[in-house]
Chain A
């Protein structure tokens, strides 16, 4: 009622002016286009992000810790040398030979005796011997279990012929590192230079 009274006091011109001034203002064309269209840029960023994440996922690396190589018949560095297995793996073109403190491991891992422990049966496409990693792992496990004195021994010496590739050496290191149950055998690797 009071409002009607107040409005009643306004003249027609005043009411018209109020309607004009109170009307909601439309945005100008410039104001509507003020938001930057960043969608293409966003697409590009998302694509690059996906590419980076996908690339990172395929290059997982690890490092094998070792020390300078020693030449000749250097022994495994442990405190009780008299109770050490002193295992050495020799990779040649003819196969893999294992040598312990007690002597050379015979063919087939049947105790001490002459011959190459695991003779090469066939060669790969690169002309290098195909290693029987499972047999090496089994033999090393057997040798380590042969005495409780060897339980704490973790070092092994790896030696190879001049032409044996780094890949074969790593295969050998993998074969002696853990047994098939995942238990540590010889995780510490020392390299030897062949005489």
Chain B
């Protein structure tokens, strides 16, 4: 029987799908970017921040300037030496390495300026330069440093010290500390100063 010309047209499934695909393609458009993607930049900045914080924490240049410790200014512009045992002389105490406990608690500046530390800290009286508590503290530090130097292939017979001294420290106390370091097999010292074009007077 021939098809009825007045009957409504019904497309096949294939025709329907083809028409649907065509309509979808026609309506497709690129997604509109209405915000800035800063995630990559944020990642980068976080990495830089962590790197800077870690670098600062491990750098010997990160000396906290406070009322108890102020470094003297110098015209010296060289790079600070990074390797060595840190010996810190503040206005009130002497510290060795990373130990926050003071090796010696210092008396007033007036008494230090006369003859250095009290006789009770010395091996042979007040005129002696050898500070016994400091030498004892350096003994264990020296052993550790010796192992490190051997592992690094450096000469283990002598260690190096980074001496961080408050600017008001009397010369006598400085000599006592340097002398004790010398007696404890520390053969080279790096005195830390603040780099400035013109030192303050």
Contacts and interface: CB of A to CB of B under 8 A. Distances in A.
Interface of A: 6-11, 14, 17-19, 21-24, 35, 38, 41-42, 45-46, 48-49, 52-53, 55-56, 59-69, 71, 91, 124, 126, 130-131, 160-167, 169-171, 173-174, 177-178, 191, 193
Nearest to A163: B113
A124 B167 CA distance: 15
Contacts of B151: none
B166 A8 contact: no
B72 A162 contact: no
Contacts of B140: none
Interface stretch (B75-83, B96-104, B131-139, B141-149): B75-83
Interface in B17-46: 18-20, 23-24, 26-29, 35, 38-39, 42, 45-46
B16 to A, nearest CB: 6
A189 to B, nearest CB: 9
Do most interface residues of chain B lie in helix, strand or loop, or is the interface mixed?
mixed
Nearest to B48: A49
Contact of A162 (B24, B53, B115): B115
B67 interface: no
Nearest to A160: B171
A158 B41 CA distance: 54
Contacts of B194: 59-62
Contacts of B71: 61
B201 to A, nearest CB: 7
Contact of A64 (B129, B179, B181, B190): B190
Contacts of B20: 17-18, 21-22
Nearest 8 A/B pairs, CB to CB: A68-B182, A163-B113, A22-B23, A162-B172, A63-B190, A167-B167, A160-B171, A62-B76
Contacts of A23: 27
B79 A62 contact: yes
B76 A174 contact: yes
A163 B170 contact: yes
A48 B49 contact: yes
Contacts of A162: 113-116, 170-172
Nearest to B55: A56
A53 B52 contact: yes
B168 interface: yes
Nearest to B12: A9
Given A162-B171, A169-B171, A68 B178 contact: yes
Given A62-B195, A162-B115, 7 more contacts: A45-B45, A59-B194, A62-B79, A68-B187, A69-B175, A162-B113, A165-B169
Contacts of A130: 201
B9 interface: yes
A163 B193 CA distance: 20
B171 A164 contact: yes
Residue of A38, A55, A63, A178 most packed against chain B (CB within 10 A): A63
12 contacts: A6-B15, A8-B9, A9-B11, A22-B23, A60-B61, A62-B77, A62-B193, A66-B178, A68-B189, A161-B171, A166-B165, A169-B174
A67 B9 contact: no
A167 B168 contact: yes
Contacts of B26: 22
A25 B16 CA distance: 20
Nearest to A8: B9
Interface string B64-102: 010000011111111111000000000000000000000
A56 B52 contact: yes
A41 B75 contact: no
A86 B183 CA distance: 25
Contacts of B115: 162
